[in-house]
Amino acid sequence: MDFAEQNSRYKIVMDAVRKYVLEKDFSEEIRLPSETQLATRLGISRAHVREVYRALCVFGVCESRQGEGTFVRSRSHRQIYDTLSVLLLGITSDIMEIMEVRKTLEAGIAENAAINRSSTDVREMKLCLRKMRSSSDPRELSRYDNELHQVIGRSCGNEILVQLSTIVAGLVHKAILEHWSFIVSDPDHTVRDRTMEQHEELVGAISGRKPAIAKAVAQEHVELVIRSLNRYQNDSRQEK
C-alpha cells in the first residue's frame, strides 16, 4: 500500500470519527466505537482505526481506558470540532508544507523557551540528549527526539504555540521516524552527526538564555530534516 492510499484510509477513519462525535450529546460522556466495530463498518483494516485512535489520544482529544475503550475527553463542542477538522486537514496536506509550518513554530517555541525555561526544564532536556546519544535504534531516536521537543515546548510559556506544535508534530511523526531510519542506516554519518550537534546547540542556547541563537538553530534543524528527507527519498526512487 502506498503513502497516498494509506493516508486516504486514515482520512476515512477521521471523517467517520468526526461525524460520530458531532452527532452526540456533549452533556454526556462519549465513547467511540471499538476498533473492530469501526473497522468493520468502514470496511478497512483495524490497524488504521488503531492508528487514528492513538493519534487522537496523543493530541488530547481522546483518552484510552484499559478494558473500557476510547473516550472523548471533556471539552467544548467547538474545541472538538476544530481539533478534528485540523487533524483531518493535516492528513491530506503535503508533508513538506507541514514541515515548513513546523519550522516557523519550532523557531518561536525555541526563542520563548530560551527566555522562560526553568532549571528543571534544562535538566530534562539534557536527559533527552543523553538518551539520544546512547541509542542507534530509529524508533527510540524518534521517540527521544519527540520527548526533547515536548520538554522545550512546555518550557516556552505559550500554550497556543505548544498546542499547535503538538498537532504538527503528530502529523509529521512518520516523516521524523523515516528521517532517523535513513540517517541511522547511512554509512556516511555526516547527517546523523549534524542532527545530534543541532539538538545539542539548541539545548545549549536555551540553557544559556540566548533566544536569537535558539531560534536560528531551530530553523536550521528543521531545514536540515527537510533537505535530508528529500535527498534520501530521491535516492530511494532512483534505486528502484
Output the pLDDT for position 175.
Answer: 82
pLDDT tens across 81-117, in order?
556 655 555 555 567 777 888 899 999 999 999 999 9
Domain of 24 in residue numbering reads as 3-90
What's residue 26's pLDDT?
A: 63
Query: Are 59 and 112 in the same domain?
Result: no
- Which of 65, 90, 115 is the C-terminal boundary of a domain? 90
Whether 144 and 232 map to the same domain: the answer is yes
Over the chain (240 residues), what is each successive 10-residue block's mean pLDDT? 57 84 74 94 90 78 89 66 56 71 92 97 97 94 92 88 74 83 92 96 98 97 91 67
Same-domain check for residues 81 and 144: no
- Alpha-helix residue ranges (DSSP H) falling in 23-45: 35-42
90, 118, 150: which is the final residue of a domain?
Answer: 90
CA torsion, ordered 195, 131, 169, 216, to nearest 10 deg = -40
Number of domains into which the chain is organized:
2
Q: Is the pTM of this model over 0.75?
A: no
pLDDT at 189: 92
Torsion angle of C-alpha atoms 151, 157, 163, 168, degrees rounded to 10: -60
